[in-house]
Structure 1
Amino acid sequence: MKVDCLVVGAGFAGAVCAERLAASGRSVLVIDRRNHIGGNAHDRPDAHGILVHPYGPHIFHTNAERIFAYLSRFTDWRFYEHRVLASVDGRLLPIPINRTTINGLYGWALDEAGIRAHLDAVRVPIDPIRTSEDAVLASVGTDLCDRFFRGYTRKQWGLDLADLSASVAARIPTRTGDDDRYFTDRFQFMPAAGYTRLFEAMLASPRITVRLATDFFQVRDAIAWDHLIFTGPLDGFYGHRYGRLPYRSLRFEHEHLAGIETFQPVGQVNYPNDHAFTRITEFKHLTGQQAAGTSIMREYPCADGEPFYPVPRPENEALAQRYRKLAAAETRVSFVGRLAEYRYYNMDQVVGAALKTVADLGA
């Protein structure tokens, strides 16, 4: 088979590249070793008709109007602002930490100035900030760090805060007011009909052929292509030449609760200190579906399984840089996405990286 462009992976990185390349007049073959499109953002109705995310909750948010406008070509939207509670000492308290969190935890009634003064008093002065522990202690002090972050991090990453780069903790702000939204981006929406429908629209061009349940490494010699877009693990492309890049994986436990309108007050509740799972997602909050029962999912981080998250540590970044040097020397291959670039991207950042990649290719 001969195509202008072979795209490996039908998630956001691959689908965006395929759509743009096809729009520029190229023939595109998209392959994915899974039996569905959408990558980890894939969603589908469960046995009870409730739209669920099999690979964990995917909440779209961005400050980039051009990215929102681009995706809006392929979906209508449902306005949704994600809210997260943390189960700490028998209470459900907002995360990111805000005034409500601190007052609820300690039984206080401080105003914003009081919260600011409290945080100023408990912060640990650390300079320079190198680790996630440094970042959290410098933001909220020891007690809040231990109650909200230390246990969650150990479960999520299998590492202590002190063993992770500062970039992980830096993703979570601290607020002195009552804003309890998890994100503050300008555009916060969910695809009205779900992510899979968005991907179907994105890949609908007659110039795009999609082959699922197809492993690139088994068919690479049977396909002729002028340019390759690779969105899988970067180290895997090179046969783990320098050793394996560490990834964190997840195991998901789905449960349907018949006859219950809602299980929890928000879409996501974190469990930093109790249980083996890190969080419970209730999908009806995310999708706005009306149904007699509800479907929830518990999330268990693990070391082995599908690669989900690059592990942000200096030694891992150094190894990734060795692979990136190999990638930079390629003239007919582009590497795009969280796994192919070994970067902790949000969905909108993946879309942005994909758009830049194909723009550089003249699409």
Structure 2
Amino acid sequence: MKSLSTLIVGAGYAGSVVARELADAGQRVLVIDRRAHIAGNAYDEYDEHGVLVHRYGPHIFHTNGERIFEYLSRFTEWRAYEHRVRGVVDGVGYPFPINRDTLNRLYGLELDEQGAAAFFERVREPREPVRSSEDVVLNSVGRDLYEKFFLNYTRKQWGLEPSQLKAGVAARIPVRTNTDDRYFTDTFQAMPKHGYTKMFEAILDHPNITVELGVDFSALRDRIKARHIVYTGPIDAYFDYRYGRLPYRSLRFEHEHLPDVAQFQETGTVNYPNEHDYTRITEFKHLTGQHHSGTSIVREYPQAEGDPYYPVPRAENEALFKRYQALAEQESEVTFVGRLAQYRYYNMDQVVGAALASAKRLLG
């Protein structure tokens, strides 16, 4: 094997951004990924019907970080897109996150912004201290909205009761007294104009970067010689599960194409908190702006087994991660970065930020 400065394990956001930064600085980099494609979970492709779909569920780019947006703008043009979601309760779709329109339609009210604030104040169940996701939601919107929109969705998504999950899970979802029905309110909201995979191809397009796909790190780690390793896989796997496995929640995706259906649903994503085994349906043409006579959708079924997607946010899991983190800190020739390596629920922009910070330290 040719001599190289750095081996990067994983061709998702963390690995690809670090690779590009090191390559731009003159280092020779080998990027490997066990999958047959780049872009990690953001991977998109045209399905057999010609519709651009996200193979691993919807990825909506949003950030308040101008530096992050400008960095990625080197590798893609953008299509402006603001994501909207509906939550189905008793067969009717309501704006979600909950806003004033949600209250007015659900309860047959005519609240203004002040009235909505008073409504939330009247129905909320004050919790002190706020420790769990259940505490967060009850403290904010009270029992009825909690049971209609949050309780069963959380049970499906995590396989746990909201009372068993850290407060931060529910704290990610705002509650609004205005009629803003955008899921995110970040300054920069857009989709890569030609898709995520094309953006990743541009990031990795550098003479100092070699990419090898379908390569499992565990199969070659004893045979490869690199001055430094950047590892973006599961941190517990790197240490052969010495202290046991870190819990993750996985997903099963059920893709479907609907011929001669111009639009399947009102918004990009519709949540199904209650009646179904799946948590949500996403229709990709909303996200991409593509024109096509048919449409393609995906249903998401959370499950315990399968590829790791979401670190399960509980105190005992964080304690287990800390043990692995202590081992990682002893590995002077390895940098651990990314959602799986840092056991964090990162948004895409946060992974980019973490990768840029890691690259800066490596080059420092």
Q: Give TM-score scaled by structure 1 length.
A: 0.99
Cα displacement (A) at 1:79: 0.2
For 2:320, the equivalent position in structure 1 comes to 319
For 1:226, the equivalent position in structure 2 comes to 227
For 2:269, the equivalent position in structure 1 comes to 268
Which residues of structure 2 form unaligned runs of 5+? none
For 1:19, the equivalent position in structure 2 comes to 20
The letter for the 2-side match of 1:86 is G
Distance 2:335 2:299 in 1: 35
Deviations for 1:94-120, whole angstroms, at most 9, x for unmatched residues? Answer: 111000111111111111111110100
For 1:100, the equivalent position in structure 2 comes to 101
Q: How does 1:219-258 map to 2 (within 5 A)?
A: 219-258=220-259
Cα displacement (A) at 1:284: 0.2
Secondary structure of the residue aligned to 1:223 is coil
Secondary structure of the residue aligned to 1:300 is strand
For 1:155, the equivalent position in structure 2 comes to 156
For 1:165, the equivalent position in structure 2 comes to 166
Distance 2:20 2:102 in 1: 44
Distance 1:224 1:10 in 2: 19
Deviations for 1:256-288, whole angstroms, at most 9, x for unmatched residues? Answer: 000010000110000000110000000000000
Deviations for 1:224-276, whole angstroms, at most 9, x for unmatched residues? Answer: 10110000001000000011000000000000000010000110000000110
Structural RMSD (CA)? 0.6
For 2:187, the equivalent position in structure 1 comes to 186
Cα displacement (A) at 1:222: 2.2
Secondary structure of the residue aligned to 2:86 is strand
Cα displacement (A) at 1:216: 0.3
Distance 1:90 1:211 in 2: 47
The letter for the 1-side match of 2:101 is T
Cα displacement (A) at 1:219: 1.0
1:305 matched to 2:306? The reply is: yes
Distance 1:226 1:166 in 2: 41
Distance 1:167 1:80 in 2: 26
Cα displacement (A) at 1:306: 0.3
Q: How does 1:62-141 map to 2 (within 5 A)?
A: 62-141=63-142
Distance 2:91 2:111 in 1: 21
The letter for the 1-side match of 2:212 is R
For 1:344, the equivalent position in structure 2 comes to 345
Distance 1:264 1:33 in 2: 35
The letter for the 1-side match of 2:28 is S
Deviations for 1:153-188, whole angstroms, at most 9, x for unmatched residues? Answer: 000000010010001000000000000000000000
Cα displacement (A) at 1:10: 0.2
The letter for the 2-side match of 1:60 is F
1:45 matched to 2:46? The reply is: yes
For 2:5, the equivalent position in structure 1 comes to 4
The letter for the 2-side match of 1:240 is Y
Distance 1:343 1:324 in 2: 12
Name the % identity: 63
Cα displacement (A) at 1:221: 2.0
Distance 1:327 1:333 in 2: 8
Secondary structure of the residue aligned to 2:153 is helix
Secondary structure of the residue aligned to 1:67 is helix
Cα displacement (A) at 1:44: 0.2
Which residues of structure 1 form unaligned runs of 5+? none
The letter for the 1-side match of 2:113 is E
Q: How many residues align?
A: 363
Cα displacement (A) at 1:54: 0.6
